């Protein structure tokens, strides 16, 4: 028996529908695989976000520590500057005292000369 054009067309349509179903099944599998990958990527992004947030908190702590250190350094610098000014004043005083001692030594020497004469 020979098939009519309608029968051949129906068989072709059935074959075409089967191919489309297979393609749809493959596409569905691919979509499922992509969905799983997206879930894994999403979990990875959440972990990375958490890591970044922890690092940000640590950096905030480091920033606060650096700021405190800078304040302490400024205070130490001011204290050192004060000590330097005191040392300069003491140096000037020592210079004046040295001059006074030299003057008094010269006076004592003159007194000894007068007493000896």
Residue 96 is encoded by which pair of tokens? Answer: 């004046």
d(CA 28, CA 34): 10
pLDDT at 1: 64
Query: What is the longest distance spanned by two Cα atoms in the chain?
Result: 167
52-108: per-residue pLDDT in tens? 999 999 999 999 999 999 999 999 999 999 999 999 999 999 999 999 999 999 999
CA distance 96 to 85: 17
Is pLDDT of 2 > 90? no
pLDDT score for 116: 86
- Cα dihedral 92, 94, 95, 99 sign: positive
Q: Distance between CA atoms of 20 and 38, rounded to whole angstroms? A: 26
17-59, pLDDT tens digit by residue? 999 999 999 999 999 999 999 999 999 999 999 999 999 999 9
The whole-model pTM stands at 0.53
Could you tell me the end-to-end alpha-carbon distance of the chain, in angstroms, rounded to an integer? 167
Residue 117 has pLDDT above 90, yes or no: no
The rounded Cα 10 to chain-centroid distance in angstroms is 70
- Work out the average pLDDT over 3-25: 94
3-state secondary structure 91-108: HHHHHHHHHHHHHHHHHH
DSSP 2: P
């Amino acid at each position: 028996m020979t098939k009519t054009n309608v029968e051949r067309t129906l068989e072709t349509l059935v074959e075409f529908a089967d191919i489309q179903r297979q393609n749809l099944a493959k596409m569905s599998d691919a979509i499922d695989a992509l969905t799983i990958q997206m879930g894994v990527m999403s979990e990875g992004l959440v972990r990375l976000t958490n890591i970044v947030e922890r690092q940000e908190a640590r950096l905030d702590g480091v920033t606060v520590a650096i700021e405190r250190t800078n304040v302490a350094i400024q205070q130490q610098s001011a204290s050192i500057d004060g000590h330097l000014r005191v040392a300069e004043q003491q140096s000037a005083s020592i210079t004046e005292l040295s001059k006074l001692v030299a003057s008094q030594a010269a006076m004592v020497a003159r007194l000894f000369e007068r007493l000896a004469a």
